[in-house]
Structures are given as structure tokens and as C-alpha cells.
Amino acid sequence: MTTDSLLIDCDGHILEPPDLWESYLDPAYRDRALRLRVDPDDGYEYLEIDTRRANLTRPGTLGTLGGMGKQVDEATQLRQRAMRGEIRPEEVRAIRPGPELTYVKGAAFGTMDMKERVELLNRERMDKAILYPTLGLLWEAELLDPELSAAYCRAYNRWIADFCRDSGGRLVPIAHVSLGDPQEAAREIERAVSDGCKGVFVSPFTISRIPHGDPRHDVVFATAQDCDIPFAIHPTFEPPEWGIHQRYDKFGWAMWYVDLFAGQGVQHAFGTLFQCGVFERFPRLRVVVLESQAGWIGYFLDRADAIFEGTTLSATVRLKEKPSYYFKRQCYISADPEERTIASLTDLVGADKFFWASDYPHPDHPANYLEELQAMVAPMSETTRRGILGENVARAYQLD
């Protein structure tokens, strides 16, 4: 990694202030704001969504959301105890930090303060970070009201634009929209972009259960294309009954397994864009695939092209060219720094198609991302290396 390389984190996270939605939500909805509450019985914080207690966030989770790498030694000890038979593996999931580790106390440096985040970039010799939410990834799976979902998105988008505004362009805000109401989502994209947001993201599911690529969402794609910003798909919590982890009973304790396949929802959503012909209808739309790793994209495109060119199944696909053509024309994918296959994939898929991301400060990724990034790009040519470190994302998001 050369010292003069542009270095941009394409997917960092902030921890929203607990009162964000009470402060930024449209007044008509503030009695239904997203809030952090404290259970009077056990003392743990919990998330309240539309006046109801969230079901998908376990007690103790909120205090760990900013804990990248902090629980590694503890996890090793628990795993060793389980292997010795001292505790059952399913009991490990029930072990949680005490209620004194609150959401705010567990926040890592630079996750709640703009100046701290810029200082963190300086420490790591990073030029910019593109920012995504944390609490904003939790609520949509438990709020099936399109009107309130849109209001929650608007509140976050106003706040993240303000959070990044005085960073001198070092922190890049990305808008969140829900596809529950495509017309409102399109209006919010226009408003958020005028307020400084440089892209938009959606969850890997839709509360309407309409596939992402369906023409009923065309107003969203058209608006992103006209605003000349990337449209991204980012993992979030998903409604359990719609998720990919429901085929086995009593397997919810297997958190390593769950996280191993956490990106598959994003892959499903991305695949609908090809099936439904989005890239044919919107040839200038830029699409970004986030936090689902990148090594699978080689298999994905090989299989997609083979089915398209060699079987009758392609009759259902609304594309003129094979899928890899549109990927190379319009798509980008984020790699985790620990992925060792990316150097080999760049020649096949395109060296200009890959970004890297830290996921800072989320605890399901290791903290030594810069060391891993250096190892990942070491086998690459200088041009490829510079692209994945920062030039590709700067071009896709049109960053100065």
C-alpha cells in the first residue's frame, strides 16, 4: 500500500444519537419515534419502534454495537469452555454483557462525534469514509407501515447530512429510503441529494414483498439515475418469516452460522435487478453491493451468464445482453479486507468494480482491517491497487 494512494472506506458506520428520531422526525410522528428505553425489571436497554418493544434485538445487544474486536478474547474462552463440555454451545448465545454496558457507553471513538471521526481518519491516513447507520439497520424489519417507515428514513437522512456537513467532505452521507412507498422514496432521494447526500441505500427485503427489480420501483431507479448517484443494497435485520435462516428449528443459537450467510439477502435482492431488467431500462444507473463480501461475484456472474446463454430459463429475463455485461457497465461490489480471492477476481470481473470497507465499528468484523487490507492488495498491480483502495469508489460516487 503506497502512502500516496487515495484511501476511502466505502462502508463505515456511525452510531446515531439516542434522541435522533425524537429530534428530527416530522412533528406529526414524534409520538411514534424510535427510542431507547430501559426495562425496569432487568435494567437492560431496549429499542422501541412505533411505541412497541423491538423483538429482534436481544437484551445487551445495544451496548455491543460499537464494539469492533472487543469481545474476541472472551469469545475464545467461551468456545474453549464449550469444547470442554463445561457449557453447551447454545448457552453461549444467552451470555451477554451486563446492563451497565449501554448503547452510549459502548460507542467506539468517532462513532457519535464528527470531529472524532475526522481525527480517526487522520490517524489511519484515510481520505474519506462513506457512512451508513447502525440503529437504522435494525428498525425496518419490524416496521411494516410504509408511511412511518418513510418518516423514519427522512429523519435519519436530515441528521446524517447535518453530521457530515462540516467535515470538509471527509465524511460522506448516504440516504436511507424504504421501498414500501416508491413515490415517497423518490421524493426523498431528490430532497436528500439536494441536502448533500451522495448516494442512497435500501434494505435487502421490501415490506411490500415486491421484488426490488420490479417495474413498480422504477420511479426510485429513475430518480437515482437522474440525480446521478449510486443506488446501494446494504444488509439489515430482516423479518424472520422472510429470511433465509428459517429452514432449521432451534438453530438460532448458531450465530457464527447466521453471520456466515448474512449477505445472502443482499445477493437475492441484487439478482432481481437482472431478472426484472432494471439495467436495460436504466442504463446510467450505478448499483453498489455492500457488506455481503465480494468473492461470490465470480461464481454469480459465471452462473448467471451460463443460464442466460445456454438454457430456456433465459426467456424470463428482461435483458438483451448477458448479465456480466451489465455488471461491468454499471455495478460495483464491496470486499471485506480479509478476502484473499479478490486479486484473482479483478482480471475476470474488472479491476474497477471493487471497493473495500471497514464496517467500523460493528462487532461482527475484526478491528485490524488496515493490516488485512494491505495483505489483500499486496498481490495486485499498482493500477488495480489504487483502484480498490479509493479511486474506484471516488469515481462511482463522484467524490472530489
Q: What mean pLDDT, rounded, does the chain reach?
A: 94
Residue 370 has pLDDT above 80, yes or no: yes
pLDDT of the residue at 96: 77
d(CA 222, CA 91): 49
Residue type, 295: G
Q: Model confidence over 171-182: pLDDT tens digits?
A: 999 999 999 999
What average pLDDT score do residues 304-308 get? 96
Residue 55 resides in a domain = no
Burial status of residue 205 (CB atoms within 10 A of its CB: 0-12, 13-18, 19 or more):
buried
pLDDT of the residue at 69: 66
Residue 389 has pLDDT above 70, yes or no: yes
Q: Model confidence over 26-57: pLDDT tens digits?
A: 999 999 999 999 999 999 999 999 999 999 99
pLDDT of the residue at 72: 62
Residue 19 resides in a domain = yes
d(CA 238, CA 56): 9
Residue 352 resides in a domain = yes
H or E stretch covering 332:
strand 331-335
298 versus 365: the higher-pLDDT residue is 298
d(CA 338, CA 322): 30
Residue 64 resides in a domain = no
d(CA 247, CA 267): 18
pLDDT confidence bin for 260, thresholds 50/70/90: confident
What average pLDDT score do residues 47-68 get? 94
pLDDT of the residue at 266: 96
Residue 74 resides in a domain = no
Rounded to 5 degrees, φ, ψ at 289 are -100, 125
Residue 119, all three cell numbers:
481525527
What average pLDDT score do residues 312-322 get? 94
Q: Model confidence over 6-26: pLDDT tens digits?
A: 999 999 999 999 999 999 999
Number of domains observed in the structure of the chain: 1
Contact assessment for residue 4 and residue 123, using Cβ atoms and an 8 Å cutoff: no
Neighbours of 315 (CB within 10 A): 6
pLDDT confidence bin for 225, thresholds 50/70/90: very high
pLDDT of the residue at 70: 65
Residue 2 has pLDDT above 60, yes or no: no
Residue 76 resides in a domain = no
d(CA 365, CA 64): 12
pLDDT confidence bin for 73, thresholds 50/70/90: low
Residues 6+ away with beta carbon under 8 Å from 116: 109, 110
pLDDT of the residue at 78: 74
Q: Model confidence over 78-123: pLDDT tens digits?
A: 777 777 888 887 777 666 789 999 999 999 999 999 999 999 999 9
Q: Phi-psi category of 192—alpha, beta or left, where left has phi over 0 and alpha has psi -120 to 50?
A: alpha
Shortest CA distance to 285 belongs to which of 133, 396, 193, 163?
396
d(CA 146, CA 152): 10
pLDDT of the residue at 363: 86
Nearest 5 degrees, angle CA 111-CA 136-CA 110?
A: 5
pLDDT of the residue at 241: 86
CATH of the domain at 16: 3.20.20.140
Residue 58 resides in a domain = no
Residue 314, all three cell numbers:
433465459
327-to-66, 121, 305, 344, 370 alpha-carbon distances in Å: 33, 31, 11, 17, 28
pLDDT confidence bin for 385, thresholds 50/70/90: very high
Residue 182 resides in a domain = yes
Q: Output helix, strand, coil percentages for the chain, rounded to the nearest 5.
A: 45, 10, 45
pLDDT confidence bin for 243, thresholds 50/70/90: confident
Note down the domain range covering 136. 8-30+109-397
HSE (side-chain half, CA atoms, 13 Å) at 239 = 12
User: Which residues are paired to 356 by β-bridges?
Assistant: 335
Residue 269, all three cell numbers:
435482492
